[in-house]
Structure formats: structure tokens, C-alpha cells
Amino acid sequence: MEKKNYGKKPREIDEKVLIAKSKSGDKAAFEELVRQFSKYVYTTAFFILRDAQEAEDVSQEVFVKVYLSIKGFRGLSSFKTWIRKLTVNTCIDKLRLRSKTLDKKISLEKMTEEYEIDFTESGMSLEKSYFNQETVKEVLKIIVNLDENYRIPLILRDLQDYSYREIAELIDKPIGTVKTNIHRARKMIKDKLKE
Amino acid sequence: MNNVNKYLKIARDAVIKPPSGNIEEKIINRISNIDNKDESLLDEKFLDFFKKSNSRLYQTAEKIRNNPGFFAGIIITVIFIISFFVLITKKLLDEGEKSADELKLSSPENKTNNN
């Protein structure tokens, strides 16, 4: 008898089917997962690394890791959560490596010219009106230009749903510092929006 | 600050368009060309992450560590409910015993014995 999936969103059902098929070696199903999540992975990597080329490299690396290990994925968390954590971990490793080997200051002017922001939700609710989207784009541009000490905790907390404790562990900073930096970052955004 | 929080919430739906074109096709091409060298990407750090993400015990522990107040609240509520039921049951049993004793005392057999 066919299993009913009452109360589940079509995307959720698709995702589970795609994962199951990918686990059994269906390459087309995995490619569909790539289509569904690649922009999300790229965006996450871009906001953390502030470098388009590195964000692309990380996106490829993340999907190679997923492809090689998906057979063992038990699905205790959603695929999106899993891939998000994998992306963030990979990006933090890159940042650590970058701080050891390279000059981490990237030209901010160049940055603003290089990327274009879009929205995944096509349905325009009142809250997501044109004006709001324009302001959000402005907010994201402010975030991208924040110092790393403020940018990373803010992105992890407000865009990626990490807890303060998880952020503190990930970036090796005391939880108090993380909370203060996030608060300051939000205040900086507020002040810059007023200007 | 409320407005900032609102915009940050909407920002979760934002995606960046890669400047160099179609990222999906690049990833798919990359996957089509996976070789043995790529196995090295599954390093110790990744395997540790993978093991943790597949462990129900670890996931539960993380949930508790992320929301200690919430779980403490649940435990306190459960203890309170259990204590309440234990108390009620004890009271009902005591009352039951008491009324049984009273019934014994007021039974005709007892009355004739007393007489």
C-alpha cells in the first residue's frame, strides 16, 4: 500500500525521495539535490568568505563531500541543516587557513560590484514587498562589509540559526564575546540604515 | 532593533547570484569527474562531523545544551506532575482505608459485638 504523506510540504517529500535515490546511486537524483541546494550553499559560503571564487570552490568541495558520504547519511536532521553545517565548517576552516597564509583583507569596493542578490521566495507577501527587499539588500551589503569579528557571529546567529554556544565553540571565542559582538553588529546595521 | 530583526529574517531567503555563471553545472561537472584523490576530502574533521551528525545521542545532547532552560522546565514540569499524581493516589488510598475502617466499625456485626 502507498504511504500517505499528510501534512508534509511537497519539497520535503521530494527531498526525502531524492536523498533515498541518491543513496542508492541515482546520479540524476543527486544532480537534482545540487540544483535545489547549490545557491544556498554558495550564498552561505559567500557571506562568510566574502570571495566569489572561494565560495565557488567551497560549494564544489561541499557537494563532493556530500556525494561521497550520502550513503551513510541517516537523516537525523534535515538535509538542509546537514549541508548548512558542513558548509559553515568548511568555510571556517578556509578562514583559519586564510588567516595563517594570506592577507585576509579583501577589497570591499570590488566586492560590492561583484555580486547580485536575489530572493528564493517568489510569492510576494506584504512583508516581502519590493521596499523590504531593497532594504534587505542594503542590510546584506552592510553585513558583508562588517569586520570578521562581527560578521561571522551575526551570520551564524541570524541567518544560519546557530546557538550562541555553537558559535562560541566554532570560532573559539567566549560566549559573552559572541553575544556582545552580535549585539554590536545589529546596532551597526541599525545605525547605517539610519544614515 | 525590531526592524533590523525583521530584515534579517527576510534576508534568510536571499541568495547570491554567482558572477561566473551557472554554479549548478560547475558542481555537477565536478561530481562527474570525482576520482580517488577526492577521498582525501573526507578527512578526520569531516568524519568526526559525519559521526556526530549520525548519532542520535549526540543530537539529543546538543539540543539539550542549546536549550538548557527549556529542558530544565520540562523536567521540573514532569517531576511536578508525577509528584501531584503520587500525592493524589496516596490521599485516595488513605481515604479508602479510612472509609473501610469506618465501614467496619459501623457494620451490624460490630454493633452486636459491642452490645
Note the pLDDT tens digit of each residue in A100-147. 776 555 544 445 546 778 877 654 565 557 777 888 888 998 999 999
Give residue A103's pLDDT.
55
CA distance B70 to chain A (A): 14
Q: Which domains does chain A have, with CATH numbers?
A: 9-107 (1.10.1740.10), 125-195 (1.10.10.10)
Q: Which pLDDT band, with edges at 50, 70 and 90, does A99 fall under?
A: confident
Per the CB < 8 Å rule, is B50 touching A69? yes
Domain boundaries, chain B: 1-66, 68-115
pLDDT tens figures, A121-134? 654 565 557 777 88
Residue showing cell 562527474:
B32
How high is the pLDDT of residue B111?
Answer: 59
Please indicate if any CB of chain A lies within 8 Å of the CB of B28.
yes
CB contacts of B34 in chain A (<8 Å) are 64, 67-68
Q: Could you report the predicted ipTM of this complex, rounded to two decimals?
A: 0.80
At residue A8 the predicted structure's pLDDT band, cuts being 50, 70 and 90, is low
Q: Give the one of A64, A76, A140 whose C-beta lies nearest to B56's C-beta.
A: A76
- Cell numbers 570525482 correspond to B34
B113 reaches A (C-beta below 8 A): no
Residues 6 or more apart from A181 whose CB is under 8 A from it?
A: A149, A150, A153, A154, A173
Q: What is the mean pLDDT of chain A?
A: 84
Whether pLDDT at A21 is above 50: yes
Does pLDDT of A171 surpass 60?
yes
Per-residue pLDDT tens, chain B, 115 aa: give them. 678 888 888 888 888 888 877 899 999 999 998 888 888 889 899 999 999 999 999 999 988 988 888 889 999 999 999 999 999 999 999 888 888 888 777 766 665 655 5
The predicted pLDDT at position A3 comes to 47
**Which of the pair, B1 or A46, is modelled with greater confidence?**
A46
